[in-house]
Amino acid sequence: MLIAGNWKMFKGPAETVAFCAGLRADLGDVVGVDVVVAPPFVSLQTAVAELDETAVRVYAQNVHWEDEGAFTGEVSRSMLLEAGVAGSIVGHSERRQLFGETDETAARRARAALDAGLGVIACVGETLDEREAGETEAVLRRQVEAIAVAVPEPPAALDVAYEPVWAI
């Protein structure tokens, strides 16, 4: 079982120190559950340092498929590896709805991260309009198939998270 907490645009480095201290105390005896936290980019290195000797893995909230280039606001897989990050979320509904992420770009991000040895949580899910129109199955199939084309033999490092947008 995987439990992942996406911090979205909350908790700068100072808050991350305090949060991680509480998380370490709360997770002391948890067994049989993989735990991932996904802080904002400015707090990644702090979380990595604070959770270093725990079973909690630190993931980024996004990753680009190129290692470098003129991609303002993006972060590369090599940068994440250098920061000590274990993986990345891709295809989050907010990235899709607010920033134009497509099934293809989410799949490209997943492939690039996995190729670099990073773990991936690939998010899939339908909007309320899609759900009410009876399109849930078609939307999920389209999103999962895009990932399957990019990652035809999925490694254990790939998790697919069903995140129905209407439930957020």
92 is catalytic: yes
Residue 124 zone, left/alpha/beta (φ > 0; ψ -120 to 50; rest): beta
What CA–CA distance (Å, rounded) separates 68 from 2?
31
Burial of 54 (0-12, 13-18, 19+ CB in 10 A): middle
Determine the Cα angle at 87 with ends 86 and 93, to 5°: 150
15 is catalytic: no
3-state DSSP assignment of residue 2: strand
Candidate list 92, 126, 130, 145, residue with the active-site label: 92
Candidate list 50, 101, 126, 163, residue with the active-site label: 163
Which residues are designated catalytic?
Answer: 92, 163
